[in-house]
Amino acid sequence: MSKTDRSEQASLEGYEVLLCVTGGIACYKCADLTSKLVQAGAGVTVAMTDSAQQFITPLTFQTLSARQVYTSVWQSSREYDTQHISLTDLADLMVVAPATANIMAKLAHGIADDLVSSLALSSHGQCDILLAPAMNTRMWEAPATQDNLQRLLGWGVHTIGPNEGFLACRSVGRGRMAEPAEILSDISRLLVRKPAKKHHTAS
């Protein structure tokens, strides 16, 4: 982030973002998103699906966020903790980026068969969700995905993108994940509407 970018960016100091990374090629852009969030002052905790780990390693996010990365509901932590619930207790916003067609389908139907989908269910009443979908145009336009999107929007889930552009499948169309800078500005817009939970509980 350049000096100019940083001065235009609202401070996210005190806000907690739960960044959930699912399995699409756009995963690599979420390393940049993590770095941008950290530079804006946000605390970032990353959770990843198994598929996401085929594209990018937890170590990348661990290094950029300077925090433990969560990959499983069965993962042991130092203290007894049900992290599929507790991670959303602290979060001011849950961001799913990239959001696969699969995770959108799971969220739209209340399926909780892994950490990320369980976190989404447990976010109810705790924090808003922002999805940054990314997929092949045919997957995006498929009636199932569009139905799932409408269902999620109806429940108040926020979305950004996907944009039109060059896709990893070497075609041009709608399905490209919004750029990290666009996602960051949407996250800021959503976060600054409310005081950070940390501040709220302290007062």
Ligand X SMILES: Cc1cc2nc3c(=O)[nH]c(=O)nc-3n(C[C@H](O)[C@H](O)[C@H](O)COP(=O)(O)O)c2cc1C
**Selected binder of ligand X within 56, 103, 130, 184 (CB under 6 A):** 103
CB of 158 to ligand X, least distance (A): 18
* Whether residue 169 lies in the annotated active site: yes
**Selected binder of ligand X within 25, 90, 121, 181 (CB under 6 A):** 25
Q: Is 101 in the site for ligand X (CB under 6 A)?
A: yes
Task: Using CB positions, name the residue nearest to ligand X.
Answer: 24
Q: Is 52 in the site for ligand X (CB under 6 A)?
A: yes
CB of 45 to ligand X, least distance (A): 18
CB nearer to ligand X: pick between 24 and 180: 24
Phi and psi based region of residue 92 (left: phi greater than 0; alpha: psi -120 to 50; beta: remaining): alpha
Torsion of CA 129, 154, 185, 27, to 10 degrees: 60
Give the binding range for ligand X (CB under 6 A) out of 47-55, 74-82, 122-130, 183-191: 47-55
Using alpha carbons, select from 52, 54, 55 the residue that is nearest to residue 70. Answer: 52
Catalytic residue among 20, 27, 30, 169: 169
**Selected binder of ligand X within 20, 23, 47, 162 (CB under 6 A):** 23
Binding mask 122-161 for ligand X (x = CB under 6 A): ------------xx---x----------------------
CB of 129 to ligand X, least distance (A): 15
| Active site residue ranges | 169
Interacting residues toward ligand X by CB under 6 A: 22-26, 49, 51-52, 100-103, 134-135, 139
